[in-house]
Amino acid sequence: MISMRESSSPPPKLRTENLTRVVSEKVIVDGVTMDVLTGEVMMVVGPSGSGKSSLLRLINRLDEPTAGTVYLDGRDYRELPPLELRRRVGMMMQMAYLFPGTVADNIRFGPRQRGVELPDETIERLLARVGLAGFSDRDVARLSGGEAQRVALARVLANEPEVILLDEPTSALDQDAKDAVENLLQEIIREECLTCIWVTHDLQQAARMADRVGVMEAGRLIRTGTPEEALHA
Amino acid sequence: MLSQFIHDPIQLTAAQALVAGGLALIMMVIAAWYGIHLEKEIVIALLRGLVQIVAVGSVLLLIFDGPIALGFLILAGMMLLAAKTAEKRAGDLPGAFRVAFWGIFIGAGSVIILMVLAGVIDTKLTALIPIGSMIVANSMNSVGLALDRFESEIKSHVGHIETALALGAEPKTAVRPYTQAAIKAGLIPRIDSLRSLGIVWIPGVMTGMLLGGSQPLQAALYQFVIMAVILTISGLASLVSALLMAGQIFTPADQLALGRGDS
């Protein structure tokens, strides 16, 4: 169990405390404690099956921790209604999982859940932000993999999240699309000052994108630090 | 041809049952030849069906003039057994028996009571039990189809459902397309049956009434009544079971509790 910040550091935006998940007596995530500051990009790396994605699912409360909890702005996330938590902590998955319909339908989805109908101009602005200006009425079935992931990003941004969780968002893309989406994510995360936890198996990507890196192995967070410290230990 | 050799009506029908069962066994052998091995299921289903229907016939003989409450009691028992059968189609869905029972009870039970009150179904047990059981059986089939479809839809759309949840959707919104697909699955066979009524097939009630000497027009209209009732109960039963199940597959913290394992 590694605490990632000294006590004198500013309060974290998000803190996981002894976060643990056990399924059928198998420990999937094992006592992960970490702090992530506002606007910080925390890359989580580790081999397949090390618990990286499961950690993100716990933070978004798509799964229930067996032990431990998460604090968002110092508040235990179990005190928040799950729907509010998930609005504030957006998540982008490895696949886009777009809903059938148009690009605009997908972008409207999140805000609509809390009774907000996004105007066309906002949708156009979000689409322009992810490099898809004019795609509003496009059927999602006609999008390429890279375009679909951009729509998925715009859909998350439409909810105006404070924290964004990225679960290998470029791993299913070809090299060109991967580079483009990675650059776009970097740009948006910095400009919007989003707090970000990004899971990847690509160590070079982690080195390029990270403020800090956490290394997971067998469900445990075994090492953290700057990219140099964590990746070359 | 059989009637030339057998004159006792019970023996004649038993012989007809033997021929029908033999045909089913021939079909089973053909299926096995094609690699579809359902021998055990078919033999058990034939034997169970025979024993059960003969038992019901015997019970009807005994309670011919019994009170209507007894009829409802028997139908309630049938609903429990129907829920048990529909539960098997629900795969890994949690609480399937309870959901199936409520689907059948609300779908079939409410309509049977309404039809009795409206005088569409005779209160004599010899009418109430066979027609009621037909309604229960159809709602059981619809619930089974709906739950089977619901399970496969959920399992094949875990990513979409969790994406919807991660975007702040309520569970019932996240699974709405799959709940709708399940309800349709329970309803469409009944719509098709109604569409083809009289053109492709003449169902049991009309056949029975004609064999019993009723006027063809009266038999036809009563058959339509039964088919319309079956369509109604199928829709109700599928709707209730799919909606109840949609609430069963999430935890109190709005997490999908079906269709994925941690890795």
Q: What is the CATH number of the domain that holds A195?
A: 3.40.50.300
Query: Distance from CA of residue B158 to its chain's centroid?
Result: 28
Which structural domain range is residue A196 located in? 14-99+162-231
A86 → closest Cβ in B168, B173, B261: B168
| pLDDT the model gives residue B262 | 47
Distance from CA of A51 to the nearest CA of B (A): 7
Chain A residues touching B254 at Cβ < 8 A: 82-83
Q: Is B168's CB within 8 Å of A87's CB?
A: yes
The residue in chain B having the minimum alpha-carbon distance to the alpha carbon of residue A154 is B167
Q: Is A99's CB within 8 Å of B160's CB?
A: yes
Residue at A132 is within a domain: no
Residue at A196 is within a domain: yes
**Optimal mutation site among B157, B262, B263, interface A, most CBs of chain A within 10 A:** B262
Q: What is the mean pLDDT of residues A3-16?
A: 72
Strand partners, A90: A164
Chain B residues touching A90 at Cβ < 8 A: 166-167
Instruction: Name the more confident of A71 and B64.
Output: A71
| pLDDT the model gives residue B47 | 94
A63 → closest Cβ in B170, B177, B255: B255
What element of type H or E holds B83?
Answer: helix B68-88
Chain B residues touching A110 at Cβ < 8 A: 167-169
What element of type H or E holds A15?
Answer: strand A14-23
Q: Within the 137-156 window of chain B, which residues sit less than 8 Å (CB to CB) from chain A?
A: none
pLDDT of B204 higher than 80 = no
Residue at A105 is within a domain: no
The total number of structural domains in chain A stands at: 1
Check if the interface score ipTM surpasses 0.95.
no
Q: Are A130 and A151 in contact (CB under 8 A)?
A: yes
Q: What is the mean pLDDT of residues B19-24?
A: 94
A110 → closest Cβ in B159, B162, B168: B168
Q: CA Rg, chain A, in Å?
A: 17
Residue at A2 is within a domain: no
The Cα B59–Cα B62 span in angstroms is: 5
Q: Who contacts A196 (Cβ-Cβ below 8 Å, separation ≥6)? A: A36, A40, A41, A42, A163, A164, A165, A166, A189
Using CA atoms, how far residue B120 sits from A12, B117, B123, in Å, is: 70, 8, 9
Q: Who contacts A90 (Cβ-Cβ below 8 Å, separation ≥6)? A: A156, A157, A159, A161, A163, A164, A165, B166, B167
Please state the φ and ψ torsions of residue A76, each to the nearest 5 degrees.
-60, 125
Provide the residue type at A52 as one letter. Answer: K
Chain A residues touching B173 at Cβ < 8 A: 113
Please give the full DSSP string across A89-118, using - where no structure is assigned: EEEE-SS--PPSSBHHHHHHHHHHHTT---
The Cα A196–Cα A127 span in angstroms is: 21
**Token duo for residue B168:** 């702040």
pLDDT of A218 higher than 90 = yes
Residue at A215 is within a domain: yes
| pLDDT the model gives residue B259 | 63
Residue at A190 is within a domain: yes
State pLDDT tens for residues B114-132. Answer: 888 988 888 888 888 888 9
State pLDDT tens for residues B227-242. Answer: 888 899 999 999 999 9
**B180: contact with A, CB 8 A cutoff:** no
The rounded percent of chain A whose pLDDT value lies above 70 is 96
Residue at A147 is within a domain: no
A86 → closest Cβ in B165, B173, B263: B165
Q: Is A90's CB within 8 Å of B166's CB?
A: yes
A61 → closest Cβ in B173, B177, B253: B253
pLDDT of A5 higher than 80 = no
Residue at A129 is within a domain: no
Q: Who contacts A184 (Cβ-Cβ below 8 Å, separation ≥6)? A: A130, A131, A150, A153
pLDDT of A1 higher than 50 = no
Q: Are A32 and A221 in contact (CB under 8 A)?
A: yes
- As a whole number, the mean pLDDT across chain A is 91
**B170: contact with A, CB 8 A cutoff:** yes
Q: Are strands A195-199 and A41-45 parallel, antiparallel or unpaired?
A: parallel
Side-by-side strand order, sheet with A163-167: A89-92, A163-167, A195-199, A41-45, A212-217, A220-225
Q: Is B162's CB within 8 Å of A109's CB?
A: no
**B162: contact with A, CB 8 A cutoff:** yes
| pLDDT the model gives residue B260 | 58
pLDDT of A202 higher than 50 = yes
Number of other CB atoms surrounding residue A220 within 10 Å = 18
| pLDDT the model gives residue A4 | 47
What is the value of pTM for the model shown? 0.83
Distance from CA of B164 to the nearest CA of A (A): 8
Q: List alpha helices for A5-118, DSSP H.
A: 52-59, 82-88, 103-113
Confidence of residue B62 (pLDDT cuts 50, 70, 90): confident
